[in-house]
Amino acid sequence: MADDDRQGKPEKPTLGQYLASIRQARKMTLRQVEEATNKLVSNAYLSQIENDKIQQPSPNVLHALSEIYGIDYGQLMERAGHITPTQKRTEHERHGRVPTFAEHNLTPAEEAELMDYLKFIRQRKRTP
């Protein structure tokens, strides 16, 4: 018996178990997923993932599955071990980047300008 079971905490499902439960909840067969991904993810390959024979599928496969199932790609990447889980920040901790525009591949100069503008807005809020 796993330590989690003895302490009364449920074990986190494996990536395969998680994906199988999502697919079943969507009432999709392995072949339907294969067709929905335009054969990027074969039904045999998905079966191996769901049965934990493949534990770290490629990011491309995870992205295709996240799109088909409508689930968060980042969480799949974490479950597969491609990236480490993000730590929760308190309200006053900084993100280290401008998170809203992170996907826009800002240049360092653009990021600096945004930070200057943010500083301006914060100063404006402080003055009565």
Identify which of 58, 13, 15, 14 has the alpha carbon closest to the alpha carbon of residue 37. Answer: 58
pLDDT in tens, 37-63: 999 999 999 999 999 999 999 999 999
Report CA Rg, the chain: 21
Q: How do the domains of the chain map onto residue ranges?
A: 12-80, 87-128
Is 80 exceeded by the pLDDT of residue 107? Answer: no
pLDDT in tens, 18-35: 999 999 989 999 999 999
So what's the pLDDT on residue 7?
Answer: 58
DSSP string, 21-84: HHHHHTT--HHHHHHHTTTSS-HHHHHHHHTTS-SS--HHHHHHHHHHHT--HHHHHHHHTSSP
Domain 12-80: CATH superfamily is lambda repressor-like DNA-binding domains (1.10.260.40)
pLDDT on residue 38: 95
Q: pLDDT digit string (tens) for 59-86? A: 999 999 999 999 888 889 989 998 866 6
Q: Which residues contact 86 (CB under 8 A, 6 or more apart)?
A: 74, 78
